[in-house]
Structures are given as C-alpha cells and as structure tokens.
Structure 1
Amino acid sequence: MSPRPVPVDEVGEPDHETDVLVVGFGCAGAAAAHEARARGARVLVLERAGAPGGSSALSGGELYLGGGTPVQRACGFTDTAEDMFAYLEAALGPHADAAKLRLYCAGSAAHFDWLRDLGVEFQHSLHEAPTWMPLTTDGLMWLGENAWPYAELARPAPRGHRPPVPGPGGRVLMDALVAAVRGAGAVVHVDTRAGALIRDGDRVVGVVARRYGRDLVYRARRAVVLTTGGFVDNERMLADHAPDLLAHGKVSDGLDDGDGILMAMAAGAATRRMAAAQIALTALPALAVRGMLVNARGRRFINEDVYPGLFSIAAVRHQPGPCWVIADEAAYEDIPEPERWGVRPVHVAATAAELERDLGMPDGALRGAVREYNRHAARGADPVLRKSGRWLRPLRAPLAAFDPRLGFAGGARRSAGIGTGAAAFTLGGLRTTPDGAVLDVPGEPVPGLFAAGRASSGLHGDGYVSGTSLGDDTFVGRRASHAGSPAWDAR
C-alpha cells in the first residue's frame, strides 16, 4: 500500500469510526489511548503485531523521572525539576529540544504519580553501581548524574525508575499499561497495519489499514495519533538519514520500519534530527568503570563512569575502533559473577607492553596510558578525564583486554564471529510541538494529526540517557491524547 494520503471522498463509508484513533500500541500509544478515554473520548487502537507491546515491551523498562518522586525521597535524595533539566540538557545534547525538555522536567513528578496510579510499581531501593540494567528488583538507579561533568552542572540525584523485576522490565511496564487501557474501555484491533492517512481537505480524518488481507477504512472524528515507532528496521531510511547505523545491530521488535513517519511525510509533515540515535556498545559498565576504556590507538577518551550510552556514542561515532576494556584480575573479581553477564577476556598478558602488541596498538601507546592512569589512580584523582575517585585503583599485571564486539557472551561467542559490538535505535522523527501536534514543512500544525514516541522527534539532541524514551513517550502520548477533548475539536 502506498503511504500517499487518500482523499476522504475516495474511500467510501468507514468500516470503523471513533473519536481518537491511535496507531501503534507500545507505551506511547498506551498513554495516548488511556488519557483520551479518561477525557471521555471514544478510542480505537490499531496494532500491526498480534499483541500489544512493540519495542517498549522488549526494553529495559527504565523511565527517567525526577523532581522529587516518592522513590527518590525514600532513598534519601532531594531533587528538583531545575536540577533534572540541567543534567538532561547537557547529557542529551548538544541540540536537545529545550522547550520539550523543560516541560517534561516540570511535569516529571506528576507523571510518576500517573504511572503509579495505572499500576506501574517501583520498589523503594537504589541500585548503586553503573550498569546497563540491574539484575535486582531495585526501583531506582544512577544514570550518570553523579559523573563528571554533570555532577558539577546540577546536584546529582538518581532518576532511573524501574519496575521491580531483575533484568529487562519493559514487559512488566507494558502489561500494566495494556491492562489500564483495556480497563478504560478502549477498543483494540491487533494484526492491523495502517498504510495511508485519509484527508478531508488539509485535515487528517483517519487511516486506511489492512487486516487479514482486507483493506479497512478507519475514521477519526477528532484526531489520529501516530505512535508507530522509529525506523531502525528500514534499511532504505537508514541509508538516507543515518547511514552510520547500517553496520550495527538493531534494538527493536523488528517492526520499527518508519511506517507512521512515511505516512505523515507523504501528507506534508516535516521531520527533525533524523540522524539522531541511541547506540549501545556491549562493553560491561561494571568492568569499564573499574578499569580503562581505550580506543584502537590505546588511548582513553572518556570518563568510564558516565552513563554507558554516552561512552557508547563516543566510542562508535567519534573514536578509531575497535575499542577495548582493559582491566586486571582484581577488577574482574570485584564484580559479582552474575553481574559479569558472561563477559570473559580475549587477551591476557603479563605486561602492558605485551598486551599492546597483542592488540596491534602503536608502540608505547597502551603502556603510556596504563602508566598515566596508575600514577593518577595512586593519588585518588583523574585530572585528565575526571572519573570519580570511588572507582580509581592502579591496575596490576597481568592485564586483560575485553572485546565488546563479542557481545555479553564474551569469549564463549568467539566461534560465532565478531560483529561491531554495537546496536542502535533511532531517535529522530516527525517534527512536533510539545503537545504532540505534527508540524508541516512551513511549521504549521497538520490539522487532526498528532504523534508521540519514536515516530516523533522528542527531547534528544546528540546524546541519550536510558529512560528518556519510555518517559518521554508516555508523557507526550498523554499530551497528544488531549486531541480527544472538546478543546481540540477545531484543530
């Protein structure tokens, strides 16, 4: 089906009619659907897969929330919307969307309450150590707020809120949201793929979708809300907008192919920051923070205690690869075995010079880096890259090199070959207002059309912090759903 919009007089009578039509049933779609129902609108949700969840259900489940949530207070932290904004503006930048970000931070504590009221639970305990994802039920985690330079820009407070489940919590989050949407009385059609928007003049009034091989007309009296995800699974769109992601793995459910973005673009919608992406390098944060993260030339390039998504972006986009984690036996043994995630060294050497030769690095480069690191670590400070003194300790031979290209199965996967060690999802998308209204190329709202989640360009600039997708997606999903209220009828 072509994504070009279809005039309303060419589609005939609708097969289904509603007030607010939500396209996509991940976390953004769930938030939009529930809020629209709460405001009295009739809501119909389309999901192309056989069940709700999408990429949200496969995520880690972190929600970036702050401003003084009950979990933060129970764990002994004072936080404000201003401190949250100062951290995120720097960590998500450069070029973060300040207007959207300020609104999100101001409403974050109330958004926590909304999630909790919908049945999303959070344990009142803190996971202290750097990690991609805690293997505990702790409800709060640090996401780089206490690392340089961010700790100097804002009072540090942990803001990563998680459902009480070890490992990935996205399914638990989505189960709560789906139950709330169904309980609110929204109608859900699964196995239904939207293909084109329907327009009455300039106004979007529905979609043409395909279900079980049959084309169906869905009419929306008030608004269509696109929550269809990003485009990391669309190779052509990646080649056009983010070609540096083509070689890497994908973080998605396999259905993030940009359908909603393409439909809206065909109707005149503008896009923003289509090259922006979250990149995850499979370097173990618990190990990197106890050692050194170096590039192919043997040089450190970032303080290893930052949020791992930031060291991933720095490594993949700005450093000569491959990158390595260098550590010693004490660092490795200091990590509880389950939290090693199966990572094992691929090279072990009696000296830094020997390890340097094994890794094909320039003569003296790694030796010099280890010598400099140890000299400063012995003094309890890192004046070069400012890693916290908490993690500084001289590295003692023998030294080991860990290869992120092998993934978190480490040496056990060597027989499967080496990839890039990185996976990504897109952050750019439709240009929207902070209320989710989709804008056209001149900057005017496309009447009747809204978007939230990864189908839209949200808070992010060139950086990323875990939880700013699920948090932003649900927050804007709620605001976009205001289209279902009488105040939006004229739009």
Structure 2
Amino acid sequence: MSRQEPAGPADRRSVLDFDYETDVLVIGYGCAGAAAALEARSRGADVIVLERASGGGGSSAASGGEIYLGAGTPIQSACGFTDTAEDMEAYLLAALGPSADAAKIRMYSRGSLEHYDWLTKQGVPFKPSFWGTPSWVPPTDDGLMWLGENAYPFTGLAKPAPRGHRVTAKGFGGKVLMDVLCRAVEEAGAGIHTDTYATQLILDGPRVVGVTARRFGKPVTYRARRGVILTTGGFADNAEMVAQHAPQLIGLGVTSDGGDDGHGIKMAQAAGAAVQRMSAAQVGITLVPALAVRGMLVNAVGQRFINEDQYPGMLGQAALFRQDLAVWIILDEKSFEEVPENERWGVLPHYVAETTGELEQEIGMPDGALTASASEYNRHAAAGEDPYFHKDKRWVRPLEAPFAAIDVSRGMASPELGASGRGGAKVFSLGGLRTGLDGEVLDVSGSPMPGLYAAGRVTSGLHGHGYISGTSLGDGTFFGRRAGAAAAEQAEAPAG
C-alpha cells in the first residue's frame, strides 16, 4: 500500500462520521503494540490494532529475541545465579547512560519478576540453560546469556548476573515471540486491521480522540473513546530524519523490518509532542564478539580504545562515535581456532603476517604503532593482567605469531538474516517521543497530552545514549502494558 508523510492533526469537527470506533486504538503491531492490546483487553476495553503491513510482527519479529529480565527469575535460579532488582537497576542505569531514564529503569527493574511471569503466561518460552561466551546470538537455544554485566567497569557498580533471557528458538527468537503474542491478542478478541497506515491524529480541543488512516489505499477514520497508543517503531529507515537528527548513522545498514520510518513520531510532533535523545543509536558492529574478546580491538593508529569483553553494542558505539568505524580485530592463530567454526559467522582474517610490524604495514598503520600496542598488551598479559582496560582474565593471554587482522568495515553476513552490514555496522534509533511512566506522551512543556500514549522504539524509553540487547523487547512489552492499562482506565471522551 502507498505511504505518505504524516500531516498535522485533524480537527474533530472536520470528521462527520467515524468509520470505526473503539475504546483503545493501538497503532503498530510489534511487541509493544501487542502488549498494549493485551493489557487493555484484560481491563475490559474494546481494542483495535492498526498495522500497516499485512500481519503483525514488525521489527520485533526480526530481532534476536533477547528480553532483558532479572531480579531472580526462575531461569536465573535454574542456571545457578542469584540476582536482585537493586543490582539490575544499578547496571542498567550505568549501561544505558548517559541520561538514562532513572525512574523508568527503577520501575522496570522492580517489576521484572512480575513481567517475566506475564510473558510466560502468554506462552513465551524460555529454556533453563546458560550460554557463557560473548555472542550476539548464541548458536544454541540456551535461555540465558551475559549482556556485559560481568565486564569492567560494571562489575564494580553491581553484583554481576546474566539477564539476557532468550526466547527459545532455533536461531533468532523474535519471530517466536511475536507468533506467541499475536496469537494471544487474537484470542483476547482485539480487532486487527492490517494494511492500514495511520496518517493524522484527530484532536478534540487538546485531546487526541482518534486517527485518520488509509486502509487498502482508501481513507478511513477511527475514533478512540479512551486513548490512542503509538507503537510504530523508530526512524532509522527514514533517511531525512536520520540526516536531521543522527547524521553519524548516514549510509549504515539498519536493523529493522524496513518500516522504521518515524511516522508515529512525526504525527505526535505535529500535535505538539516532545522528543528527546534523537541522536542516540544502537550500533550493531559487524564483528564476532568471541573473536574480538580473544584479541585486541584497535583503531586506525593501532591503539586499543575499549575493553573487548563489554557488551558488543558498546564496542559498536565506541567504534562508530569515537573511531568512525576504522577499527580492526588483532588476534593470533590460537585465538581464531579456539572459536568453533559455526560461531565465526563465516568471518576470515583479511591480513596475516609473521610479525606485528608486517601486519601494520599491510593494514597501512603508522610504523611501530601496532607493534607498540601488541608489545604492551603482551607484557601485561603474561601476568594475566590488563591494567589499561581491565578485560577479564579469562580472555587475557599473550598473542603469538602468526598474527591476523580482521577489518571490521568490510562487514559480515548473519547466518540468520543472510545480509552483511554496510560500512561495518547495522543500526537503529534509540531516541523518540518523551513519555511518562504510564506511557503518556508529553508535550514540549512537559505536560501529558490527553488521550495519547506511546511505547517501544517510537519513544526514548529506558535509554539514554547506551543500549543493551533485550532492552527493546523488554522496554516495549513492559511499558506497552502500562500504556494499555492507562488508556483502558481513562474516562471516555464525549462523542462530540
């Protein structure tokens, strides 16, 4: 169906008759929209979900399927780990910063156990087994993994516990998650209107009371008696918005279903909504974490710049925002061979040499730069130490000839999606609409916009400028539920 740029809000008085009416109108059918619909239905509200595609799923269905949960879930306990909401909160506050939303993080951490229970009651499966090696997505169906909690400097801020809860699946689990949630939404009795693209919010005075849309190419109108909930995703697929708000992302691949065009953000902005942290982004650097952690990640002048065993998205943000993606993994033959072939994602060294001096010449680094870095790294690694970046001793040992270099800018192909990133990374936006704890959209003065709610990547959510895997699906479902509940409990707007 055709797309069009969202227009300014329509006046309720210009709509003679609505084509459809409901209590709660959800726009977008990814994880946040599904959660919002389920929670609103559980409170007795009539719900219609609008989805521009021909079925539910969105970018959530294309994700790895990690959900960030903790505070002592049954999966953590079964795998032998203890955790508290306080430690979860402390880690997220640091990892998602700077400028992370402290109030939302506290609420999310303290509500994590209940949210785990809610997900499993919907039928979302988690396997009580643990994957302990750095990875984007493990090649197994293990249900728990580290997401940087056990890496410096976070080990000094909170007791480490793995909180990456993976939806049980062969490969990426996002599709399984969305199959479960969409089935639950249908069984709950919500109306699902696919091939429907929202174009304008409808205002009755200051209150949002519905939307205009195009359904199968024809104009239609929807009235929401209690509230409209935007769950339309981010804006990384909108080149104009990327250039305006996050120019460092220009030209990079995008992690999405192709529909993160920012139209929900722009519809709300046109009615006076505030946005925040629009330059923030997750950077899925195209490297194999299990290889990077066994060697050195260096920049264009051969210098290390980060602890290699941090969550790989942090490596990506540092590589893009501080090094313009001019980075290499330096390792030796033993490091490469230690990683099983099915975990290498087809990556092979781009340069091989008997000495670091020869390697730096092949790469084009300044004479002696890489040699000096490797010599200093090996000097401390001989004692099992990394005083510069504090990589865990598990991964620290001297590198020995022959040496190899992997040029991250050349990208790699995901075994699940089959497409390599362009320019060494695939990204998605983290900034979006400013919202309160119940998903209420705030205007530019900080006041709630009556009748308008939002959740998921259309908002800035928990995030500051940092990101951890699982905080998209976790944030989207958790605050999607809160938005659904808040909208369902609103007083009905007058018919007008």
Query: Normalising by the residue count of structure 1, what TM-score does the alignment of the two structures yield?
Result: 0.97
Partner of 2:429: 426
Which of 272, 275, 285 matches 1:271? 275
Q: Which residue of 1 aligns with 2:322?
A: 318
Task: Specify whether residues 431 and 320 from structure 1 end up closer, same or farther in structure 2 by C-alpha distance, changes over 3 A only.
Answer: closer
RMSD: 1.5
Q: CA deviation at 1:179?
A: 0.7
Q: Deviations over 1:2-36 (max 9, x none)?
A: 52111111122111100000000000000000000
* Aligned partners of 2:130 and 2:145 also within 8 Å: yes
CA separation of 1:418/1:314 partners in 2, compared to 1, >3 Å: closer, same or farther?
closer
CA distance in 2, matches of 1:408, 1:179: 34
- Alpha-carbon offset, residue 60 of structure 1: 0.6
Confirm whether residue 340 of structure 1 aligns to residue 344 of structure 2: yes
1:418–1:465 distance in 2 versus 1, CA, 3 Å: closer
Alignment map for 1:166-185 (pairs within 5 Å): 166-185=170-189
- 1:209 & 1:388 partners in 2: Cα distance? 53
The partner residue of 2:391 within 384, 387, 390 is 387
Q: Which residue of 2 aligns with 1:27?
A: 31
Deviation of 1:167 (Å): 2.2
Letter in 2 for 1:128: G
Partner of 1:305: 309
Q: Kindly provide the CA deviation profile for residues 266-320 of structure 1, in whole angstroms up to 9, marking residues without a partner as x.
A: 0111111111110111011000001111011100111100000001100110125
The residue number in structure 2 matching 1:437 is 440
Compared with structure 1, are the counterparts of its residues 361 and 160 closer, same or farther at alpha carbon in structure 2 (3 Å cutoff)? same
1:65–1:108 Cα contact (<8 Å) kept: yes
Cα displacement string for residues 207-259 of structure 1 (whole angstroms, at most 9, x for unaligned residues): 00101221001110000000000000111111111111112111111110011
Q: 1:324 is aligned with what amino acid?
A: W
More displaced stretch, 160-169 vs 220-229: 160-169
Decide whether the 8 Å contact of 1:222 with 1:483 is kept in 2: no
1:123 corresponds to: 127
Matches of 1:417 and 1:307 in 2, distance apart?
20
Which of 316, 328, 332 aligns to 1:328? It is: 332
1:74 corresponds to 2:104: no
Paired amino acid for 1:477: G
- Aligned position for 1:148: 152
Return closer, same or farther for 1:124/1:333 CA change in 2, 3 Å cut-off: same
1: CA distance between counterparts of 2:184 and 2:420?
Answer: 44
Alpha-carbon separation, structure 2, partners of 1:213 and 1:407: 38
Q: Equivalent of 1:476, from 458, 479, 482?
A: 479
Aligned partners of 2:325 and 2:423 also within 8 Å: no
Aligned to 1:101: 105
Q: How does 1:445-460 map to 2 (within 5 A)?
A: 445-460=448-463
The one-letter code sitting in structure 1 at the alignment partner of 2:457 is R
Unpaired runs of 5+ in structure 2? none
In structure 2, what residue type is equivalent to 1:446? M
> Given residue 429 of structure 2, which amino acid in structure 1 is its aligned partner?
T
* Letter paired with 1:259: H
Q: What are the superposed Cα offsets for residues 64-120 of structure 1, whole Å, 9 maximum, x if unpaired?
A: 000110000111111001000111111111111101111111101110000000000
**In structure 1, what residue type is equivalent to 2:478?**
F
Indicate which of 461, 466, 491 corresponds to 1:463: 466
Contact 2:411 2:420 in 1 (8 A): no
1:375, distance to aligned residue in structure 2 (A): 1.1
Contact 1:297–1:320 at 8 Å: present in 2 too? Answer: no
Measured in 2, the distance between the counterparts of 1:215 and 1:313 equals: 42
1:296 touches 1:320 (CA, 8 Å); kept in 2? no
Q: State whether residues 280 and 309 of structure 1, in contact with CA within 8 Å, keep that contact through their aligned partners in structure 2.
A: yes
How far the C-alpha of 1:321 sits from its partner, in A, is: 4.3
Judged with a 3 Å threshold, the aligned counterparts in structure 2 of structure 1 residues 336 and 447 are, in CA distance, closer, same or farther, namely same
TM-score, normalised by the number of residues in structure 2: 0.96
1:365 aligns with 2:332: no
Question: In the aligned structure 1, how far is the partner of 2:99 from the partner of 2:332?
Answer: 38
Cα offsets for 1:146-195 (capped at 9, x unmatched): 00010111000000001112321100111011011111111100000000
What letter matches 2:102 in structure 1? A
* Structure 1 position 229 matched with structure 2 position 233: yes
Tell me if the contact between 1:277 and 1:425 (Cα under 8 Å) persists in the aligned partners. Answer: yes
Equivalents in 2 of 1:236, 1:78: separation in Å?
A: 46
- Paired with 2:420 and 2:317, the residues of 1 have a C-alpha distance of 23
Give the equivalent residue in structure 1 for 2:247.
243
Whether 1:46 aligns to 2:46 is no
1:202 positional shift = 0.7
| One-letter amino acid of the structure 1 residue matched with residue 92 of structure 2 | L
The answer to whether structure 1 residue 259 and structure 2 residue 263 are counterparts is yes
Q: How does 1:201-212 map to 2 (within 5 A)?
A: 201-212=205-216
1:198 counterpart residue number: 202
Structure 2 CA distance for aligned equivalents of residues 144 and 212 of structure 1: 45
Residue 408 of structure 1, aligned match among 412, 428, 449: 412
Query: 5 Å matches for 1:277-288?
Result: 277-288=281-292
> Structure 1 stretch 382-391 or stretch 419-428: which is displaced more?
419-428
1:11 aligns with one of 12, 15, 22: 15
Counterparts in 2 of 1:12 and 1:278: CA distance versus 1, 3 Å = same
Distance 1:402 1:451, change over 3 A: same
CA contact (8 A) 1:31 1:475 kept: yes
Q: Which residue in 2 is equivalent to 1:413?
A: none
Partner SS, residue 268 of structure 1 = coil
Q: Distance in 1 between matches of 2:434 and 2:421?
A: 37
The letter for the 1-side match of 2:476 is D
Partner amino acid, structure 2, of 1:15: D
Aligned equivalents of 2:318, 2:362: Cα separation in 1: 24
Query: How far off its partner does 1:419 sit?
Result: 3.9
Select the residue among 165, 169, 172 that pairs with 2:169. Answer: 165
The structure 2 residue matched to 1:220, chosen from 211, 224, 227, is 224
Q: Contact conserved, 2:451 with 2:487, CA < 8 A, in 1? A: no
- Alpha-carbon shift at residue 423 of structure 1 (Å): 1.1
Give the SS at the match of 1:400. strand
